[in-house]
Structure 1
Amino acid sequence: MAKIQRALLSVTDKTGLAGFARGLAAFGCELISTGGTARLLREAGLAVRDVSEVTGFPEILDGRVKTIHPVIAAGILARRSVPGHRAALAEHGIATIDMVVVNLYAFEKAAAREDASIEELIENIDIGGPTLIRAAAKNFQDVAVVTSPDDYDSVLEEMQSSGGSLSLRTHWSLARKAFARTAEYDAAITARLASIEVEETGLVDRPSELPAALHLLLPRRQQLRYGENPHQKAALYARGAEGVANAAQLHGKELSFNNLVDLD
């Protein structure tokens, strides 16, 4: 895989970002950023180009429009192996973007607050972030997409061992995480907005103890020996770090569905 030469960073959760960006810069990677993320990186002593400098277009509408621009989209989506794509980039003077580091507005955190207003919920719906994430994940063969601070260390370690690149396996793993994250994010928005209705006075929020909609996205933890009956297939799906799904099996053959039901 090609060396990562240019990264776009725009995050809400800034945990560990300065150290990660410093690691990227050590490989000669150009850093492009926006708003508070760019400010944090500059305060950490890093050289950063503003997205507005790259696009030639300023942030507008109180920050609602920052990264939504053809220059950014093309830099991410262009397939390096397609001559026509390379020619289009050259014609319009667009540089490729090799890594996208984005995490999303904290909608889930706002939705969990009982006093959150409808306006606050709406303003916490990220638009540019999911667009960048999905574009990078779609073009995973050429672009690495990093959506969680939990991946910063492993990404830098691999880059250090490979001279500044990431394997196709890592690109694909990060892309799958990215699509899972945007699906989870949209599910959270759908579930929370389901309690908002239009009445004569306007929008009215009527949250209840039980959600009006429930969307589950559960990663598969393990394949099970069989389902409730021997001819049935089964697997264990779960989230979180507690409960039976996180127990360590010390002895015996592969678990079945019935084993887990007996444990619960």
Structure 2
Amino acid sequence: MGAGSVVDNAIRHPQGGRVVCELLGINASRAVDAGPWLRRFQPRGGALANNPDGWGLAYTEGGEFKITKSPTPGAESSVLSALCSTVHSSLVIGHVRHANHPYVNSIENTHPFIRSCCGKEWIFAHNGLVSDIKTLPEARLHEGCNPLGQTDSEYAFCYLLERIAFHIDVNARSDGEVQVDRFASIVELVAAHGRFNFLISDGAYLIAYGHDHLHFLDDSDTATKAVVIATVPLSTDKWVPFEPGELRIYQGGRLITSRHTRLGAVHERTEIYKETTL
């Protein structure tokens, strides 16, 4: 386990324009030292990249999520620096924010977000913009998941949880591929309304969606399976870009399954909208 040389080049969106907000995910077969990757991620919060409007870090410890965040530049945070030296976990989600919608720095608008759904706690962080989702007549929010801030990201998170609660059996011991197909359809629906790169976890799985800008790196060694996911490569190692619209699900550092969603238009699978059992 480890990280190669740091990269500090300015990253731009492949279709033009600078990437705003950045994600970091780590998933491993055992608790690992997250420090090498966190130290490379921290400068992205306002020093090496224009993401000065907040930072957040969520990770599992003792079977529960711990979350720390602040609406201040991550690159300047002594708290984040301390976490770089202390976090040992098998699942980590980090975010540095470039305020876009809205242009308000507050703890309520800072990722990652945490909510309860289906007897589990969920963590979510997002890169992109999906403000149009609020205009959908079907955009009912999960009970108990009213957004605390003003971001489209938190709204999209609550929308996902509403669809998960109604359409997916998160405790199912069979038909796992069917559940993944349903989740991919939900993601595809949201992605049709903007840019929707995200990380989400229920503590057991790390789910990553690369709408148009996300990378992964196999960080395994002889003792540990591990994957690192980031908006931009954080080292000179051989990072692999997600294919546009690719959904990847990890557990214990291993890729469990993946899907490819269609981008660009709302598809015809209206059952995801309906309040009827699939």
TM-score, normalising length from structure 2? 0.30
Q: Compare the two structures and name the one with the higher helix fraction.
A: 1
TM-score, normalising length from structure 1? 0.32
Q: Compare the two structures and name the one with the higher strand fraction.
A: 2
Structure number, greater radius of gyration? 1
